[in-house]
Amino acid sequence: MPGNMLSKGEVFVVDTDAASREQLSIALQHSAYDVICFADSASLLSEAKARMPACVLLDIPPDRSALDLLKQLREENCLAPVLVTSANGSIAMAVDAIKSGATDFIEKPFRTHDIVDRIDAAIDEFAQPDEYRHRWLAGCEPLTRREGDVLEHLAAGLTNKEIARRMHLSARTVEGYRASVLKKAGARNVTDLLRRIFVQGSPSQV
């Protein structure tokens, strides 16, 4: 970290590729983060039990094993935002990551300064009090705050790319949240979703 610069918090970086860990570590330290790198899931889980980082950056290898780590972190009450990176930028992978507790999904290859910006945004959002309330359907599983934000932008007619820019997320992440919202509502598509919310009876608050 540059001298005389206060730490913005500790970031755990999990990636099996040593070169990638080194590159991310340098970029994050230059942006005033303390960084601890891990080559495997077991080491991170052990460290996470001792203390909670400000953020976790988790790479998902082709065998998808890191998704299990993500679920374990959430089950063990590690509430820090987790940003997932993957060379597999499919919608299915993004949906699985979001369902498992990821805050953001970032496709490889990426620019390190973009990663730093996304980590900044995730930590800032995590620090805000969770006082959001969203229009939703009675009897349906409640939305998370980010799902509610995506819903509001969809209702305003924004595209996935526009929502991604507004929320400082990747388009794949937005697609993941949108798929989750549609599933919770049992809606076929966004038009069906909005019709149910704004036409069928009085909307509920979550």
Digit-coded pLDDT (tens) for 127-139:
765 443 445 777 7
Q: Which residues constitute the domain of residue 115?
A: 10-127
Average pLDDT over residues 24-42: 91
Phi first, then psi: give them for residue 95, nearest 5 degrees. Answer: -65, -45
Q: Sign of the CA dihedral 140, 142, 145, 146?
A: negative
Evaluate whether residue 3 is within a structural domain: no
Residues 105, 94 contacting (CB under 8 angstroms): yes
| DSSP3 helix / strand / coil % (the chain, rounded to 5) | 50, 15, 35
Statement: residue 143 has pLDDT above 70: yes
pLDDT reported for residue 26: 95
Backbone dihedral angles phi then psi of residue 84, each to the nearest 5 degrees: -100, 135
pLDDT of the residue at 132: 38
Shared domain check, 151 and 110: no
Residues 71 and 161 in one domain: no
Mean pLDDT of 43-59: 86
Check residue 23 and give its pLDDT: 93
Shared domain check, 200 and 153: yes
Which whole number is the average pLDDT over 179-196?
A: 86
Residue 128's pLDDT is what? 64
Q: Verify that 117 and 176 share a domain, yes or no.
A: no
The reported pLDDT for the residue numbered 140 is 81
| Tokens representing residue 160 in the block | 């996935």
Q: How many domains does the chain have?
A: 2
**What SS3 class is residue 140?**
coil
- Pairing label, strands 135-136, 204-205: antiparallel
Q: Report the share of the chain in percent with pLDDT over 90.
A: 29
The crossing angle, in degrees rounded to 10, of helices 66-75 and 41-50 is 20
Average pLDDT over residues 141-151: 85
Tell me, yes or no, whether 74 and 148 share the same domain. Answer: no
Q: Check pLDDT > 60 for residue 2.
A: no
Average pLDDT of the chain is: 83
Question: 29 versus 73: which is more confidently predicted?
Answer: 29
Rounded mean pLDDT, 60-80: 81
Note the pLDDT of residue 3: 54
Are both 158 and 92 inside the same structural domain? no
